[in-house]
Amino acid sequence: MRFVEVMYKVVISAKVGAMVMLRSAIKHAVRKARRTAARVRGKVLLPNYAQLPSDESVLATDASIADGLTVTVGGYLPGGDSRDVSSLWFESSSGHRFECVFQHDGARSNRWQASAELPVREVLTDEKTWKAFALVGTTVRTVSLQEKPASTSRAAVSPESGHVWSVEGLSQELLLKGKPPASKWYVDNLTVRLGSIVCSVRAQGMAPEQAELLIRKRKTDSRIRIPLATSRGLGEARIFGSEILARDPEAQAGQPVVWDVWMGHEEAEPYRVRSSAADIDNPRRVFRYATTPFYFEGRRGLLRPYWTLDGYLSLEVRSGTVPAQAEGTGK
C-alpha cells in the first residue's frame, strides 16, 4: 500500500514538473516571437535605402556644401550600428586626401553624417576632383550618392576665394569638384591726374596676362582700346581725356557724355569693371573724384570718373571751362 502511494506521488510530481517546464517554454517562445516581431517592425520602418547597395560601396543619401566652406555627407546603415563606418575621406587622383569628422545622431543610431572644410588651397591643375571613400570594419569602400530631384542644389561658391564647388553622383561614385574662380580684373585704385586718369587693377584668380581696357560710349558702338600693362595679377592703364573727346562730337559740342569702362581678354567676353573693395556695397557714395581739365584743339575739356549706382566704373567727358584743380586719388 505504501509503495502504491509513493508511486502515485512520483507520477503527480512528474506531471507538475512537466507542466511548469511547458509553461516556461511557452513564455520563452512568446518573448522570442515578440522580440523578432519588434525587429521586423523596426526594419520595415527604416527607409528602403538603409541597405548597402553592394559589398564595395557605402550609400550616401545626401551631400551638400554649406556657405561654400564645408562639405557634408550623410546616410544610413542597416541594423542601427553607426560604428560600422569608422572613417570617411575624399581623395584626388594625385593622392591628396582630406578627412571628414563624424557627427553621430544619438536619436537615430542608424544615421551617420560627416563633414570637412573644403580644400580651397588644393584646387590645382591636377587636383580639381575628389572621390569619396569610407572604412567599413576593415574594408575600404567607395561612397555612392543616391539620386535626388533635379531641383536639389549641391553647388556653392566660397565667399572669400570665389571657388565654385559641387558634389555629384557619377557611376556609383560620390565626387566633389572644385573650380578656381573665374578670371576677372577689378579696379584697385584710381588716380586723377591733369588731363588723365590712371586706373590700377588687380586680378581675382588666375587672370590672363594679356588684357586691355575698353572704353565704350554708352548706347553706341563707339569704343577705345586702352593698353593694360600687367604682371603677376596687377595692371595699370592711363586714360586720356583728349583721346575720348576726339572720338565724341557730342562732347565736343559741350554736352556731357558717359563712357563706360570695360575689361577685355581672351578668356572671357568683355565685362564692365567693378571695384575690388568687396566690403563696400556702394562705392559711388564712398569714393568721389575730382574733375580734371585738359586741352583739345585749343579748347578745354573736362573728364570725371565716377561709380554708377550698380557699382561699375564710368567716365563723364565734355568740353567747357572749369577752374584748375589739384590731382586727386581714390580707391
pLDDT tops 70 at residue 312: yes
Q: What is the tens place of the pLDDT at every residue in 169-195?
A: 766 788 998 887 767 888 889 999 999
- The single-letter code of the amino acid at 20 is V
- The single-letter code of the amino acid at 245 is L
- List CB contacts of 14: < 8 A, sequence separation 6 or more: none
Dihedral (CA of 228, 229, 234, 240) sign: negative
> What distance in Å separates the CA atoms of residue 249 and residue 247, rounded to the nearest whole number?
7
Number of helices (H), then strands (E), belonging to the chain: the values are: 4, 22
What's the chain's length in residues?
331
> What distance in Å separates the CA atoms of residue 118 and residue 133, rounded to the nearest whole number?
16
Per-residue pLDDT at 125: 58
Task: Please calculate the CA angle 124-130-132 and round it to the nearest 5 degrees.
Answer: 160
Task: Tell me if 264 sits within 8 A of 177, measured CB to CB.
Answer: no
pLDDT tops 50 at residue 53: no
Task: Tell me if 95 sits within 8 A of 131, measured CB to CB.
Answer: no
Question: How would residue 42 be classed by pLDDT, with cut points 50, 70 and 90?
Answer: very low
> What distance in Å separates the CA atoms of residue 218 and residue 221, rounded to the nearest whole number?
8
> What distance in Å separates the CA atoms of residue 283 and residue 141, rounded to the nearest whole number?
52
Dihedral (CA of 297, 217, 193, 229) sign: negative
Per-residue pLDDT at 48: 34
From 37-51, 59-73, 151-165, 200-214, the region with the lowest mean pLDDT: 37-51
> What distance in Å separates the CA atoms of residue 82 and residue 160, rounded to the nearest whole number?
35
Dihedral (CA of 274, 193, 264, 128) sign: negative
> What distance in Å separates the CA atoms of residue 10 and residue 303, rounded to the nearest whole number?
124
Residue 173, C-alpha cell as written in the block: 561614385
Q: What is the β-pairing status of strands 139-145 and 57-66?
A: parallel
Q: What is the tens place of the pLDDT at every residue in 252-306?
A: 888 899 999 999 877 678 889 888 776 566 777 788 888 999 988 888 899 999 9
Question: How would residue 36 be classed by pLDDT, with cut points 50, 70 and 90?
Answer: very low
pLDDT tops 80 at residue 23: no
From 162-166, 219-223, 264-268, the region with the lowest mean pLDDT: 264-268
Cell 548597402 sits at which residue? 52
pLDDT tops 90 at residue 124: no
> What distance in Å separates the CA atoms of residue 232 and residue 215, rounded to the nearest whole number?
24
C-alpha closest to that of 115 among 178, 167, 51, 49: 167
Q: State residue 237 phi and psi, 5-degree precision.
A: -140, 145
Q: For residue 264, what are the CA distances in angstroms to 122, 216, 218, 260, 294? A: 28, 12, 17, 13, 27
Residue 177, C-alpha cell as written in the block: 569638384
Per-residue pLDDT at 211: 84
Burial (CB count <10 Å: 0-12, 13-18, 19+), residue 230: buried
